[in-house]
Amino acid sequence: MSKLLVSDYDDTLYTSSKSLYFNILAIEKFRKNGNKFAIATGRNFISIDSLIRKYKIPYDYLICNDGSIIFDNKHNIISAHYLSNSEVNDALFYLNNKNEFFYRISLYNTLCEALNKEKILEIAGYIKFLKSVKTIVNEMNEYFSTIKAYKFENYLFVKRPQNKSDAIKELIEIKGINKEDVYTIGNAQNDYEMVKDYNGYNMLISSPKLYGNSKGTVTSVRQLIKKIDK
């Protein structure tokens, strides 16, 4: 039975140009043996697609916006979880009343930033004062039951409560892949669910949350592929 390997991008698939080169060689061999490879990232499509093109990274599926949308390698949408117009309006009303805490607030649609409120995957606020964000996140998650707010680096994001693990579940149901044949690898807190829920591995330098909830630690995607192929 063929296997599916799902990898985070930043600090996992890519840790350096040299490591990425050897990871790509391993992925090519992995796919030639009849297996599938997916990238799961918090980046939007335009951001990750530019890197895929730059480094010529082979893949079968692409999970973007932390699980909100899934593409195949022809850029066809497999699944998408958009915010409703009312959810967008409510979130913007709240955030605009907190605009002293943000440099700017952006809407992200299927590909990247949107000029209107149609088919919005995610709202992002670029943060001025990091200390204030925890309160805003907690308030939004208390007030709005159908959307999720979270902080990542210098941004506050608002989206559907869909994570990378949820996207993988959708993908394997659509494609008829057995859960036991799915392997995952990541390093950050937003990789926690997919590492915990599947045959997950964490990178050597990872969020403490991943240790103890994975099947082990590896130094690269290439090393994990060697483990899978044994």
The domain limits of the chain are: 4-80+163-229, 85-159
HSE, CB side, 13 Å, CA atoms: give it for residue 68. 26
Residue 229 predicted with pLDDT over 80: yes
Between 4-13, 92-101, 107-116, 134-143, the lowest mean confidence (pLDDT) is in 107-116
**Measured distance CA(60)–CA(70) in Å, rounded:** 11
**Residue 116 falls in which region: left (phi positive, over 0), alpha (psi -120 to 50) or beta:** beta
CATH architecture of the domain formed by 4-80+163-229: 3-Layer(aba) Sandwich (3.40)
pLDDT at residue 60, as a whole number: 98
- What's the gap between Cα 207 and its chain centre? 15
Mean pLDDT rounded to a whole number for the chain: 94
Q: In what order do the strands lie in the sheet with 102-108?
A: 102-108, 122-127, 155-159, 148-152
Looking at domain 85-159, its CATH architecture is 2-Layer Sandwich (3.30)
pLDDT, residue 149, reads: 95
Q: pTM for the complete prediction? A: 0.94
In the structure encoding, which two tokens stand for residue 47, read together?
């951001």
- Poorest-confidence range of 119-133, 138-152, 173-187, 189-203? 119-133
Is residue 88 scored above 90 in pLDDT?
yes
- Mean pLDDT, residues 27-46 taken together: 96
- The β-bridge partners of 108 are 113, 122
Instruction: Show the tokens assigned to 184.
Output: 């995952």
DSSP state, 120?
B
